[in-house]
């Protein structure tokens, strides 16, 4: 599931896809206990609002790709968000759209997002492997209720090292 957020002018290009179906989405706010609150039923729009403090307006979809308009985006860009809210920013490439069509461009964007997402996942896994936490020996004596396994390993290594020295 992908979500694309852009301004109104760029959305008009995406609407030219033969697979685009108009779907205005859910209402942005609902009345609750006499006051208006943001609608939590559209998880992506709710999360976007919390992160960027702006309201999204659903416009439609192409398969599982949902399109939204953010009227505060003024640059010729659009953002693609994955289901876990990973953000990918793209400049609109009018030349590709003109030469090969909007459907080709959407496929190109999906492929680019998948490749970059896979690369980010690999990099994050490598960072986790590289960043093994080092134990803090002082926690054993100063804060025994907050001792981790790494703290104990460091203490035992130090104790063994001093025993054999």
What percent of the chain shows pLDDT beyond 90?
53
- The pLDDT of 112-129, averaged and rounded, is 90
- Residue partners of 25: CB distance under 8 A and separation at least 6: 42, 45, 57, 58, 59, 66, 68
Lowest mean pLDDT among 39-43, 69-73, 98-102, 129-133: 129-133
Lowest mean pLDDT among 27-31, 52-56, 100-104: 27-31
Which pLDDT band holds residue 165 (cuts at 50, 70, 90)? low
- The pLDDT of 17-25, averaged and rounded, is 91
Token pair for residue 131?
């960043």
- Residue partners of 132: CB distance under 8 A and separation at least 6: 150
Q: What structural domains does the chain harbor?
A: 2-129 (3.30.1930), 132-163 (no CATH)
The vertex-90 CA angle with 115 and 1, nearest 5°, equals 55
């Amino acid at each position: 599931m992908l979500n694309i957020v852009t301004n109104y002018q760029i959305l008009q290009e995406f609407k030219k896809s033969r697979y685009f179906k108009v779907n205005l989405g859910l209402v942005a706010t609902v009345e609750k206990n006499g006051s208006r609150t943001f609608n939590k039923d559209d998880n992506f729009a709710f999360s976007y609002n919390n992160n960027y403090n702006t309201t999204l307006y659903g416009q439609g979809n192409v398969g599982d790709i949902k399109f939204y308009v953010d009227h505060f985006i003024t640059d010729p860009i659009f953002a693609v968000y994955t289901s876990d809210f990973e953000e990918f920013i793209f400049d609109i490439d009018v030349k590709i759209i003109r030469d090969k069509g909007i459907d080709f461009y959407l496929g190109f964007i999906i492929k680019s997002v998948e490749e970059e997402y896979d690369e980010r996942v690999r990099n994050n896994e490598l960072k986790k492997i590289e960043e093994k936490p080092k134990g803090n020996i002082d926690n054993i004596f100063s804060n025994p209720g907050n001792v981790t396994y790494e703290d104990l390993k460091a203490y035992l290594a130090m104790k063994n090292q001093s025993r054999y020295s």
